A and B are shown apart, each in its own frame.
Chain A
Amino acid sequence: MRPILMKGHERPLTFLKYNREGDLLFSCAKDHNPTVWFADNGERLGTYRGHNGAVWCCDVSRDSMRLITGSADQTAKLWNVQSGTYLFTFNFESPARSVDFSVGDKLAVITTDPFMGHTSAIHVKRIARDPADQTSESVHILKKPQGRINRAVWGPLNETIISAGEDSIIRIWDSETGKLLKESDIEIGHKKAITSLVKSSDGSHFLTGSHDKSAKLWDIRTLTLIKTYLTERPVNAVTMSPLLDHVVLGGGQDASAVTTTDHRAGKFEAKFYDKILQEEIGGVKGHFGPINALAFNPDGKSFSSGGEDGYVRLHHFDPDYFHIKI
């Protein structure tokens, strides 16, 4: 396949997200402007100007009208996707790391980092239909002294919130009461910081990637460990195909560690694994730096990867991808 290279960001990529219909791709990077691209040919549609710090995460509403972004400038902003203007700013006391819209887009979960005496927290905010009515009050603030929370998502039917972070434990919270319902088992769980988390397209299971060079597949309701995928590099980003039973892992070491440990320096690849057999199918090379973001198009026919090199690579699969057998 011939990947389409998009160099819109000057700094490393942090997050990639497709909208529900799969025609728009949102990219966040350490430069302050999230960008939206057309997902078929990679043409840039626009950038969202307004943040003053690295943008860590974003989410788009189901109707592709609203975009929410979390940034290191201690704010999360709501944007009008079409016009590029921001509608509302949520202010926090520490950098906002992860954002996620609930099903129905009426609520959003925003996590903040531990910073200057504040512990990390999970904020649940109400999102108003009409941006004029938007207030910044939180429905809940869940605080528990943990490390940095790298990712928090809504569980099925918005009943739960799932968080994962630097302390390598996955926690499930009740979204109504704020109580901690479950924690992942330390023995079988990740051994190092969890860097990424992605839900399956039907929401029944989710995949976490960690610096302990593995990714694990969990059941979303019971938090039982289903599968483990092993790799040689710390995993920075994970995604799952909505069409086939594939999971994709992306990662790599920091530039400082590369020359001393990796003889194939510079050839960073996104590794495809069979979801059920846990075996590696293949890898897609091309990035010049560790891969920090991965996303699958909801139609399953293309995927994109963002790297430390600032490039977004959009891959449309060849027909024989759909016939891969191990």
Chain B
Amino acid sequence: MTVLNANGSAPAMPPSKLRWGELEDDGEDLDFLLPPRQVIGPDENGVKRAVEYKFGDDGNKIKITTTTRVRKLAKARLSKSAVERRNWAKFGDAVHEDVGSRLTMVSTEEILLESPRALGSKAEESKIAGDNLAQLGKGAVLMVCRTCGKKGDHWTSRCPYKDLAPPTDAFVDKPPMSETVVPGPGGATKPAYVPPSMRAGADRIVGADMRRRNDENSVRVTNLSEDTREPDLLELFRTFGPVSRVYVAIDQKTGVSRGFGFVNFVNKEDAERAINKLNGYGYDNLILRVEWATPRPS
């Protein structure tokens, strides 16, 4: 609102019968005349300006500028009677309603017609992931067993598959121990006694196959001393790998070793290493001769 004085320069006065040049002399008389109301039509933003003049309480001219912008929220094709109804006077509690009343507000949130399916699948997915993690462990620690390599079930000292020969470090430069794969059960049947041959990981190869296989891994040891017996050979050869059978030829009459024996390894590589290392090895004051039992499978 700006206050003008009577001689004031009203901006952009439309031409009227009253020319302000003439007014100058008779300014006092024509004070009561106000410049007419103008409407500066909607510009490119849709903003409309209306300029009005009126007399204030103290007799001064007051200029009121109203800036409005009309925005289309929704399209309503109204019938004639509906248009009439639009102009009805307010009644009841709405009579004293001012423009600032907060009864009707446009929501600040954008609400969508949400599809129900999306929500359903998401809920399922998160549930499944949760279950997997839950299955993994009692407590937050992941239990790893060195012997069987199975995670999350037991620690090494409690391994049910203890009989698998653990690696030792005499002589042998340690090649990586091939892990014997344990197709174990879920560990749920632990309390019952399971004979070694029936245990998981036991080589449950039927009869003939077993022998044949092992005979390919058979190592003949000669120039043994008289007192050498099976346990001695086992002790000597087990460092190379799991041994399935040891045999020392013994003279029944004298009970003395005939100087040779056989060692059957589970793995051929172990047998090979044993041959390489122990051939020419001094054992009990005699030089051992270690070689393949069968014609060399090389």
Contact = CB atoms under 8 A, between A and B. Distances in A.
Chain A bound to chain B: yes
20 contacts: A1-B111, A2-B110, A2-B111, A3-B106, A4-B104, A4-B106, A5-B106, A7-B103, A8-B93, A23-B86, A33-B93, A44-B94, A44-B103, A48-B92, A49-B92, A271-B116, A283-B116, A284-B111, A299-B77, A321-B113
Most chain A CB within a 10 A radius of its CB, from B104, B112, B114, B115: B104
Contacts of A142: none
Interface centre among B79, B91, B111, B113 (most CB of A within 10 A): B113
A316 B91 CA distance: 26
The 5 closest A-B pairs by CB, nearest first: A47-B92, A84-B91, A46-B91, A23-B82, A282-B113
A43 B113 contact: no
Given A23-B78, A23-B79, A282-B113, 19 more contacts: A2-B106, A2-B110, A3-B107, A4-B105, A6-B104, A7-B102, A24-B85, A33-B92, A43-B104, A46-B93, A46-B94, A49-B92, A281-B113, A282-B114, A283-B114, A284-B111, A284-B113, A286-B109, A321-B113
B88 interface: yes
A23 B85 contact: yes
A165 interface: no
A12 interface: no
Interface in A299-314: 299, 301-302, 313
A45 B74 CA distance: 18
A174 interface: no
Classify chain A: how many residues form its interface, as a range: 35 or more
A315 interface: yes
Nearest to B105: A5
A45 B107 contact: no
Contacts of B114: 269, 282-285
Interface string A271-285: 110000000111111
B269 interface: no
B90 interface: yes
B81 interface: yes
A43 B85 CA distance: 13
Contacts of B106: 2-5
Contacts of B73: 40-41, 316
Contacts of B90: 44-46
A44 B94 CA distance: 7
Nearest to B88: A82
Nearest to A34: B92
Interface centre among B81, B92, B109, B111 (most CB of A within 10 A): B92
Interface in B20-77: 73-74, 76-77
A21 interface: yes
B97 interface: yes
Contacts of A21: 78-79, 81-82
Interface in A148-205: none
Contacts of B94: 44-47
Nearest to B115: A282
A302 B111 CA distance: 14
A84 B85 contact: no
Contacts of B95: 46
A134 interface: no
B93 A47 contact: yes
A290 interface: no
Nearest to A24: B85
